[in-house]
Amino acid sequence: MKDQSPNSWEARADAHSFYGFTDLPTIENRGATVLTHGSGPYVFDVHGRQFLDANSGLWNMVAGFDHAGLAQAAKDQYDRFPGYHAFFGRMSDQTVMLSEKLVEVSPFESGKVFYTNSGSEANDTMVKMLWFLHGSEGHDQRRKIITRKNAYHGVTAVSASMTGKPYNSVFGLPLPGFLHLTCPHYWREGQPGETEAQFTARLAAELEEMILREGADTIAGFFAEPVLGAGGVIPPPEGYFQALQPILQKYGIPLISDEVICGFGRTGHTWGCEAYGFVPDAIISSKNLTAGYFPMGAVILGPQLTQRLQAASE
């Protein structure tokens, strides 16, 4: 039950804090859960109650809440050099080594990494990169972004426009030019008597129809989570990416794999794209990138996009 005393932690939380993604009437009835610390996969509140945090924080605390090695590494680095940027041709030695490692473990033979503060910001940055790249190559009209209904890509104005969730309509989103295909959920979206292979073929045909209807020369990129995370943990139907990628390549549309949730082992492979047998043009990473110990996102560019962005910058 909610502690009604005016100086309780719950009352103090209600008085001065907004909760993200929360049903406020429910909180009004039962109060917030104010946490103090964690141990392994468990968290503890101000009343000493223990909870199994089955969602791993926000899909990110995959090493637990008190991993001694991660905590010590962070403390040591704060003592040595607490933080820096990557502007003006400057970069910390740790950033250089991380970029090397990310490209090494990526499915790309070569590439470059651009860092952000979150997965939302990384998706937002990737869209800007695509707009910049196409514009520099003389294709200013290549602005539209294709994603899927029920997909989740973030909370910035651009990444929320990519997110195919109806609740974003309260913000007047999506912005113009953000297009959403059928959710690749065979159980819910399959037609009566339709096999999984036929469902995949129908979704591939829908993609090509959208490209032709909108104009291939207006499409900047296609973004997809290998497994839809916040959309319900929905794996793709069999052969899905193998059916879609040739269509995207046919019309010169980059395929971006949003691995904010899927990346670093959650599918049993380092990357979700590896689990489902495709190599994208770029990977969006966050969450497991730091195991939740500090906020960070990354755009990992494959060799072709690296070369094209390098040329655009020059």
Percent of the chain predicted with pLDDT > 90 = 92
Mean pLDDT value across the chain: 96
Residues 175/228, Cβ–Cβ less than 8 Å: no
Q: pTM (2 decimals)?
A: 0.95
Sign of the Cα torsion 301, 305, 311, 313 reads negative
- Domain map (residue ranges) of the chain: 106-313
How crowded is residue 211: how many other Cβ atoms within 10 Å of its Cβ?
A: 22
Say if residue 129's pLDDT is above 80. yes
Instruction: Give 298-311 pLDDT, tens digit per residue.
Output: 999 999 999 999 99
68, amino acid identity: A
E strand segments, the chain: 35-39, 42-45, 50-52, 112-116, 144-148, 178-181, 219-224, 255-258, 282-285, 297-301
Residues 264/102, Cβ–Cβ less than 8 Å: no
- Average pLDDT on 263-281 reads 97
Say if residue 86's pLDDT is above 70. yes
User: Which CATH number is associated with domain 106-313?
Assistant: 3.40.640.10
Say if residue 151's pLDDT is above 90. yes
Report d(CA 301, CA 106) in Å as an integer. Answer: 10
pLDDT at 6: 84
Sign of the Cα torsion 17, 23, 28, 31 reads negative
- Average pLDDT on 117-137 reads 98
DSSP 239-255: THHHHHHHHHHHTT--E
Instruction: Give 1-13 pLDDT, tens digit per residue.
Output: 667 688 999 999 9
pLDDT at 211: 98
E strand segments, 98-159: 112-116, 144-148
pLDDT at 107: 97
- Average pLDDT on 68-88 reads 95
pLDDT at 1: 62
Report d(CA 208, CA 192) in Å as an integer. Answer: 23
pLDDT at 76: 97
Confidence of residue 28 (pLDDT cuts 50, 70, 90): confident
